[in-house]
Amino acid sequence: MYGDETYADDETIRRILTATGDTWAVVGLSGNTSRAAYGVAAVLQRFGKRVIPVHPKAETVHGEQGYASLSEIPFPVDVVDVFVNSDLAGPVADEAKAIGAKAVWFQLGVIDTAAYTRTRAAGLDMVMDRCPAIEIPLLP
């Protein structure tokens, strides 16, 4: 059964936000200002994260060049933040592992327990069904 604490423990949240690295690929981030990804990316930038848009349109967002897929990003990515429907999230987590990311973060409402299990078993940190823009201001 899905339980919030099982997939988003405080220690993992803190580690991803403070010690994992500052380059975040945000999958689903486009120039659409009405989408949650746009606002969350802005908050992450205010807290010192480099936010890389990943979207089929490969738009430049918040001053950062976008890419159509994770595999097209020509530099290391620390965290992959996932703003896609749950049924599409598992392959994104698998691609995050393939590109050498250190952590995966599934946004609020993005739930795939099998992907969570695979990603953690591969040695990556992972948080599911939480929002870093909510969590990061709460850090001491």
Q: What is the pLDDT of residues 11-49, one digit of tens each?
A: 999 999 999 999 999 999 999 999 999 999 999 999 999
Query: 68-81: per-residue pLDDT in tens?
Result: 999 999 999 999 99
Question: Three-state SS string across the chain, please?
Answer: CCCHHHHCCHHHHHHHHHCCCCEEEEECCCCCCCCHHHHHHHHHHHCCCEEEEECCCCCCECCECCECCHHHCCCCCCEEEECCCHHHHHHHHHHHHHCCCCEEEECCCCCCHHHHHHHHHCCCEEECCCCHHHHHHHCC
Domain containing residue 95? 4-138
Query: What CATH number did the domain enclosing 95 receive?
Result: 3.40.50.720
- Domain total for the chain? 1
